[in-house]
Amino acid sequence: MMKKKQTEEKEMKGAEIAIRCLEKANVETIFAYPGGQSIELHQALKDAKIRVVLPRHEQGGAFAAVGYARITGKTGVCMATSGPGATNLITGIADAYMDSVPLVVVTGQVGTHFIGKNAFQETDIIGITRPIVKHSYLVMDINDIPKIFAEAFYLANSGRPGPVVIDIPKNIQQQRSVPVFPEEVILRAYRPEHKLNEADVLKIKDAIKDCKRPCIYAGGGIITAEASDALRKFAESFNIPVVTTLMGIGCIPDKHPLCLKWLGMHGTVYANNAANEADLLLAFGARFDDRVTGPVKTFAQDAKIVHVDIDLSEINKNKHADIGVLADIKDMLDALNKAPIYKEYKEWHAQIREWKKKYPLSYKENNNIQPQYVIQTLSRLTKGEAVIVPGVGQHQMWSGQYYEYKYPRQFLTSGGLGSMGFGLPAAMGAKIACPDKLVVNIDGDGSFQMNIQELGTIHNEDVWLKMIILNNQHLGMVAQWEDRFYGSRRGNTDLRNARSNRPYPDFVTIAKGYQIPGREVYKKSEVEDAIREMLETPGPFLIDCHTGYQEHVLPMIPPGKTYKDILNE
């Protein structure tokens, strides 16, 4: 159902109506790559008050829109033509779906009379993306465009956020009509708002009253719901320690005395111990994914489980909840905070302090350039204020471990999908969204090369992005698994050039080809000076930091094992 408002709009093309819809949705930036079936949309954008960022690859545009959305909480927008343009967006769409990121994706399509006939550059992008979107639309009537766009933005950024695809055939873009824009969106079958049940609040409080070893397990939903302040207040007023997921990093400051950092395969020993040995686990905005739980039957097996989530399908999906609550987590925390139950938990906190002392997050330092040292140095020099956007791999885990985070939306990472190639374009999108923030892309040489072409966008759009490549000449995380579980037998994880005596490729020379300055670092003594140069140089800057490939991300819970099997060396 849609409340419509009669307007005195003039007749316009379908493409012009679509762009007017973006303006009405307060879209300020769109990441868009043109093509034959989206040319009308780009022509309409020429007259719009929207910044158009031209990525050098559609996947880069999708990730940039995701980075834009992650740092702001607003809906990211990207656009491509039909066929290969649309299919190149799929990895970015999947990333947004897995991590609940609001995204509206606009694609051009062949004319309606060509659909289903294998026309040039025709693909069924609706069918292809159906498993990885919140909803999708194929526009078959020009008069539906205002309604569809209004619904798409409403769906993308309400309830549990996610991506929405709008596919517009070219003849629909070219038709003319007088648009009628809706005043309000009302979807009868969609109820993203959930009234808080006071009985659920009391159930959780009763569970807290009865427990001796409580632990908060906070996920990305805390950040999405803008509930970080409420979470911190709850933790302090109830005196309960907090472990986060990778997506939840920053929802409570790393230095907070109740923060145990993140748990899971590469989380801290004390976070894993606390979550698994608690007698009450308060899962807030988290989904019990396999990288956190390991074998789900043995995860927190002696704890009473409280699970609060905005998405009913997540409750009892992976882990049975003794108390499952469908609610906005911020509403729930605000209600719980009205009458806190403070308990000392002396033995529990003493046990946690003992774990922290016995199993600190650390590494064996040596005279080589170690990735952990680089990230610690960056954290110190930036005073923990930078927004960190890693690619995916070992450097991603070290970035989560060794940078000290202070606030939400400070660590932007591909969590659920774990997509290499994410870091550079997502960092670019984040910096475009927040030009006054220091944004640093920490990447691996493998991940960086997957979207290296976005250096062209960074230069042409004057994006002052800082980039550090932790270059170990390997696909480091896979090589680590080979070292640990496959007798160091290399299965195509070595990126070195056998015909060259120096690291390959020469990233600094490539950056200079895009007119971006850079610096190579080979000695530990050069690291701090190089980072200072990067931070002090106006504009974008790239550091190619050469590390050894022998370094492993630790701690590590081997696949299929429990927290008791965690490796520390």
- Is the per-residue pLDDT at 305 higher than 80? yes
- The answer to whether 249 and 401 have CB atoms below 8 angstroms apart is no
Per-domain residue ranges for the chain? Answer: 2-185, 198-358, 371-546
- Residue 210, Cβ neighbours under 10 Å: how many? 11
pLDDT band at residue 498 using 50, 70 and 90 as cut-offs = confident
Rounded CA separation 179/411 (Å): 41
Classify the phi-psi angles of 515: left when phi > 0, otherwise alpha if psi is within -120 to 50, otherwise beta. Answer: left
Q: What is the pLDDT at residue 534?
A: 98
One-letter amino acid of 98 = M
| Pairing relationship of beta strands 176-177 and 12-13 according to DSSP bridges | antiparallel
Backbone angles phi, psi at 83, to 5 degrees: 60, -125
Q: Residue holding tokens 């007749």?
A: 11
- pLDDT above 70 (res 3): no
Q: How far apart are CA 387 and CA 408, in angstroms?
A: 10
> How is residue 556 annotated by DSSP?
B
pLDDT in tens, 321-357: 999 999 999 999 999 999 999 999 999 999 999 999 9
Question: What is the pLDDT, as a whole number, of residue 5?
Answer: 52
Q: Does the pLDDT at position 467 exceed 80?
A: yes
Phi, psi torsion values for 176, nearest 5 degrees: -120, 145
> Which pair of structure tokens corresponds to residue 91?
């990895």
Query: Does this chain's domain 2-185 share its CATH topology with 198-358?
Result: yes
Q: Which residue has the tokens 């993203």?
A: 192
pLDDT tens, 400-414?
Answer: 999 999 999 999 999
The contacts of residue 216 (CB under 8 Å, 6+ apart) are 231, 234, 235, 240, 241, 242, 243, 282, 284
Q: Give the other-Cβ count within 10 Å of 77's Cβ.
A: 26
What is the overall mean pLDDT for the chain?
97
Measured at the CA of 396, the angle between CA 390 and CA 402, to 5 degrees, comes to 105
Per-residue pLDDT, averaged over 171-198, amounts to 94
List, for residues 251-299, the tens digit of each pLDDT value.
999 999 999 999 999 999 999 999 999 999 999 999 999 999 999 999 9
pLDDT tens per residue, range 526-542: 999 999 999 999 999 99
Q: How wide is the angle at C-alpha 364 spanned by C-alphas 358 and 365, nearest 5°?
A: 135
352's enclosing H/E stretch is helix 346-358
Across 220-230, average pLDDT = 98
The answer to whether residues 387 and 438 touch, using CB atoms and an 8 Å cutoff, is yes
Phi-psi region of 365 (alpha: psi -120 to 50; beta: other; left: phi over 0): beta
Give the Cα separation of 9 and 27 in Å (integer). Answer: 20
Scan for tokens 């008791």, then name that residue. Answer: 564
Burial 145-165 (b: 16+ CB within 10 A, else e): bbbbbbbbbbbbbbbbbbbbb
Residue 453, token pair as written in the block: 């072409």
- Kindly state the average pLDDT of the residues 386-409: 98
Considering the chain, what percentage of its residues have pLDDT values greater than 90? 96
CA 286/CA 510 separation, integer angstroms: 40
Contact by Cβ (8 Å): 410, 436: no
Res. 1: pLDDT tops 70: no
* Whether pLDDT at 7 is above 60: no
Burial of 524 (0-12, 13-18, 19+ CB in 10 A): middle
**CA nearest 294: which of 564, 569, 567?**
564
Q: Which CATH class is domain 2-185?
A: alpha beta
Task: Identify any residues that bridge with 306 across adjacent strands, giving them in sequence order.
Answer: 282, 323
- pLDDT of 118-133, one tens digit each? 999 999 999 999 999 9
Under the banding of pLDDT at 50, 70 and 90, the label for residue 6 is very low
- Tell the CATH topology of 371-546: Rossmann fold (3.40.50)
What pTM did the predictor assign?
0.96
Give the residue numbers marked as catalytic. Answer: 58, 120-121, 170, 477
Does residue 93 carry a pLDDT above 70? yes
The CATH number of 198-358 is 3.40.50.1220
pLDDT of residue 500: 86
Does residue 481 have a pLDDT over 50? Answer: yes
DSSP alpha helix (H) spans, 211-315: 220-224, 228-238, 269-277, 290-293
User: How buried is residue 317: exposed, middle or buried, by Cβ count under 10 Å (0-12/13-18/19+)?
Assistant: middle
Q: How many other β-carbons are positioned within 10 Å of the β-carbon of residue 202?
A: 11
